[in-house]
Amino acid sequence: MGDEDWEAEIVKPHVSSYVPVFEKDKFSSGANGDTINRTSASSGMYQELDDGPAQPDHFRRSHFASGRSLGNRGFSNKFEEDDTSGFLKGSNNDCEDNQTQNRGFSRRGGNECDHDDGVQRVGGLFSSKRTAVSGTGNGDPYHSRSGSGRGRDSWKSEAEGEAGDIQGPKVTYIPPPPPEDEDSIFAHYQTGINFDKYDTILVEVSGHDVPPAILTFEEANLCQTLNNNIAKAGYTKLTPVQKYSIPIILAGRDMMACAQTGSGKTAAFLLPILAHMMRDGITASRFKELQEPECIIVAPTRELINQIYLEARKFSYGTCVRAVVIYGGTQLGHSIRQIVQGCNVLCATPGRLMDIISKEKIGLKQVKYLVLDEADRMLDMGFGPEMKKLISCPGMPTKEQRQTLLFSATFPEEIQRLAGEFLKSDYLFVAVGQVGGACRDVQQTVLQVGQYSKREKLVEILQNTGDERTMVFVETKKKADFIATFLCQEKVSTTSIHGDREQREREQALGDFRCGKCPVLVATSVAARGLDIENVQHVINFDLPSTIDEYVHRIGRTGRCGNTGRAISFFDPESDNHLAQALVKVLSDAQQDVPAWLEEIAFSTYVSGFSGSTRGNVFASVDTRKNYPSKSTLNTAGFSSPAPNPVDEESWD
Ligand SMILES: Nc1ncnc2c1ncn2[C@@H]1O[C@H](COP(=O)(O)OP(=O)(O)OP(=O)(O)O)[C@@H](O)[C@H]1O
């Protein structure tokens, strides 16, 4: 590829004739008839290109909109490296408040925040307004750390922004309703050849009075409608996290559960909650003036919460329980209309949830279940402050009065400690496999690739993968556009998803990827967590993330539910050495080959205990609480044959 500099290319690309597959029909009216916002507020964001009749619906984004005619390839610009140049220095953050978040606590996974403010995302337009929550030193763990939050001054002010008063144009996007037919509701993909291997995973439950796990769905004693729905969803056998979590939740206990990516955590919390709601009866109905959901589920990204909603809708099919989803980037009025039609299970992203609460569109008094999916992300610097506000909102039952459930594939120790504030003191901690460990069904390869060779390598790999669905992760929004552009030029059908794209575009991109129209999805970390997309055979870390947690989540987009997958990561020694140690550990724990060169780098950059690295104690494998009994079992053998306790090998100081 030669000596070149991408930042310059991204800022002033010389690309014009490319037709991004993901932008087709971009300017056509949406289902609701609202057209894409082309007002002055989004000026510079989208401009139709006049590229002649062959390409009628071209557009370009603000960062491409330098007003110049774009040349053919033009990937040879050089530029002066600037102190603020994000990705050249391995900066991971893809947030509007990018500059403030690159260190300390907030570096933990999830580079791209999902500000659910509801204002139009106009590439960086609001960055100056999104000043970070500053460290106030008030003893609040979210505020006293170095680095800072994700740029919410307060949820209230952002909620006001939703109305378009200070931050941008009003959002008009109304997502199309999901299909209503039974086949679509219950559409699912097959479990893979390794599904039965889940049985051999070591499970550890710590805490007092642990309810016995179940081995079959029948043992859960769910009602007939739920059982029918489970069968229609194609579930015949419980996954380990379901075996343990379902009885714990049915017993009314709070819990923190950590299980590998793609192993069925969503059903693990949905099924017992729905079972209880049906047993206890529900109070919300469309005839009530104020909707008071019994269950609130929050997740960090819009696409993920939508997916959880679809699961909730599937499992509650044919029952009187009504699930509703609300998330940013969509018309607020639409969210309110969904709620007033009746809302028992409210699936929400944090910003939109706080917005709706501040507008008194829901009451919290009836909340019996609070679920934080991707809980480590929900409690970190980005969303933690909002979650704290949520639990102290007027009317919200105290932790003693509600059941709180935290789920993730990664649970760093410091986050576990923060979680105590949300959970009853006798919560149970379920660890399926090693906390923060990568899914073993993903074959991981790490290649040493310098930044200037990455594109060439990417194309080489994609030429071999053919039409297999591949997610390519990059570190910044600009770069996502840039690489998608590049791949399209290389005749690879590509789309992209990141936080600067409007919600309509994000959903279109995901839809095109899901259905195979665009087999390659270039994404920032906004797509790293939770997304469950059939047939994703490959994940390519074009850029490695800044934290190992994020790596684990990203590669977990493949190899789901017993299926196998491949992850290839480009390791650039110029910027990724800080990850070497953690990568070696993750690879070896997942019984993957560890390249000798990586071991050497890890050795030469060795940091005792990993503290001060990308996360506190990287390989916390257990409940951080002391003096809590824990019991390890291999779940094939039921619950009577304790397996070697991983605690022995881990740092329980
Ligand atoms: N018992 C089961 N039998 C068959 N399929 C299942 C079962 N449980 C879950 N699945 C399917 O497995 C897939 C992954 O589940 P899910 O998305 O809940 O994983 P997850 O553990 O939440 O992953 P992540 O950590 O990435 O969020 C989904 O398609 C889900 O429908």
Assign 3-class secondary structure to 607-636. Answer: CHHHCCCCCCCCCCCCCCCCCCCEEEEEHH
The stretch 624-643 carries a mean pLDDT of: 54
Cα angle, residue 510 at apex, residues 506 and 514 outer, rounded to 5°: 170
- Which residue puts its alpha carbon closest to atom 20 of ligand 1? 262
Distance from residue 240's CA to the centre of ligand 1 (Å): 11
Whether the CB of 556 sits within 6 Å of ligand 1: yes
Cβ–Cβ under 8 Å, residues 347 and 324: yes
- Could you identify the atom of ligand 1 that is nearest to the CA of residue 237? 1
Q: Which of 244, 532, 563, 635 to mutate to test the pocket of ligand 1 (most atoms within 8 A of CB)?
A: 532
Is 386 within 8 Å of 422 (Cβ atoms)?
no
pLDDT band at 123 (very low <50, low <70, confident <90, very high): very low
pLDDT of residue 528: 98
**What is the predicted pLDDT for the residue at 466?**
84
Given this model, what pLDDT does residue 281 score? 87
In the chain, what is the greatest distance between 2 CA atoms, to the nearest angstrom? 72
Q: Could you give the count of Cα atoms lying within 13 Å of 164 in the half-sphere of its Cβ?
A: 12
Q: What is the pLDDT of residues 398-443, one digit of tens each?
A: 999 999 999 999 999 999 999 999 999 999 999 999 889 999 999 9
471 in helix, strand or coil? Answer: strand
Task: Name the residue at shortest CA distance from atom 4 of ligand 1.
Answer: 235
- Model confidence at 168, pLDDT cuts 50, 70, 90, reads low
**Is the CB of 303 within 6 Å of ligand 1?**
no
Percent of the chain with pLDDT over 70: 68
Q: Which stretch of 89-98, 140-149, 188-197 has the lowest confidence by average pLDDT?
A: 89-98
Instruction: Give 28 or 397, the one with higher predicted confidence.
Output: 397
CA distance 538 to 540: 6
What's the confidence (pLDDT) of residue 367? 97
Q: Is the CB of 560 under 6 A from ligand 1?
A: yes
Bridge partners of 257?
407, 430
Residue 437's contacts (CB-CB under 8 Å, 6 or more residues apart) are 260, 552, 586, 589, 590, 621
Whole-number Å distance, alpha carbon 262 to ligand 1 midpoint, is 5
Domains along the sequence of the chain with CATH: 182-432 (3.40.50.300), 442-605 (3.40.50.300)
B/e letters for 562-601, b = 16+ CB within 10 Å, e = fewer, are: bbbbbbbbbbbeebbbbbbbbbbbbbebbebebbeebbeb
The pLDDT score that the predictor gives to residue 142 is 53
The verdict on the CB of residue 142 being under 6 Å from ligand 1 is no
Interval between CA 35 and ligand 1 midpoint (Å): 35
The Cα–Cα gap between 393 and 485 comes to 45
Range among 116-130, 549-563, 596-610 with highest mean pLDDT value = 549-563
Ligand 1 pocket test, pick from 407, 560, 563 with the greatest ligand atom count within 8 Å of Cβ, gives: 560
Helices (H), 515-628: 548-555, 577-589, 596-604
Give the distance (Å) from ligand 1 centre to CA of residue 159: 33
Rounded CA separation 380/113 (Å): 11
Q: Is residue 284 in contact with ligand 1, taking CB distance under 6 Å? A: no
Residue 518 and residue 497: Cα distance in Å, rounded? 12
Regarding the beta carbon of 264 and ligand 1, being less than 6 Å apart is answered: yes
Give, for 275, the enclosing helix (H) or strand (E): helix 265-280
Q: Please, which contacts does 230-238 make with residues 24 or more away whose CB atoms are closer than 8 Å?
A: 230/267, 230/271, 230/315, 232/182, 232/186, 232/317, 233/186, 233/188, 233/267, 233/314, 233/315, 234/186, 234/188, 234/190, 234/191, 235/267, 237/195, 238/214, 238/264
Which ligand 1 atom is nearest residue 267's CA?
A: 18
CB-based burial label for 83 (10 Å; 0-12, 13-18, 19+): exposed
Q: Is the CB of 561 under 6 A from ligand 1?
A: yes
Q: Is 230 in the pocket of ligand 1 (CB under 6 A)?
A: no
List own/partner pairs for 424-428 with CB under 8 A and 24 or more apart: 424/253, 424/254, 424/399, 424/400, 426/207, 426/208, 426/209, 426/253, 426/254, 427/207, 427/253, 427/254, 427/255, 427/256, 428/205, 428/206, 428/207, 428/210, 428/248, 428/253, 428/254, 428/255, 428/256
For ligand 1, the distance from its centroid to the CA atom of residue 211, given in whole angstroms, is 23
Residue 48, pLDDT > 90, answer: no
Token readout for 264 is 């069925």
Region of poorest pLDDT, from 329-338, 431-440, 544-553: 431-440
- Angle, nearest 10°, between helix axes 577-589 and 596-604? 130
Q: Is the pLDDT of residue 228 over 60?
A: yes
pLDDT score, position 282? 81
Pocket test for ligand 1, best of 216, 265, 317, 533 (most atoms within 8 A of CB): 265
pLDDT score, position 166: 43
The β-bridge relationship of strands 295-298 and 255-258 is unpaired
Highest mean pLDDT: which range of 53-67, 504-518, 598-612: 504-518
Is the pLDDT score of 248 beyond 80? yes
Mean local confidence (pLDDT), 462-476: 95
CA–CA gap between residue 430 and residue 204 (Å, rounded): 6
ipTM of the complex: 0.99
For residue 259, give every residue at least 6 positions away whose Cβ sits within 8 Å of its Cβ, in sequence order, or none: 239, 240, 241, 265, 268, 407, 409, 430, 431, 432, 433
Q: What is the pLDDT of residues 273-304, one digit of tens each?
A: 999 999 998 865 667 889 999 999 999 999 99
pLDDT at 116 over 60: no
Ligand 1 site, residue 532, Cβ cutoff 6 A: yes
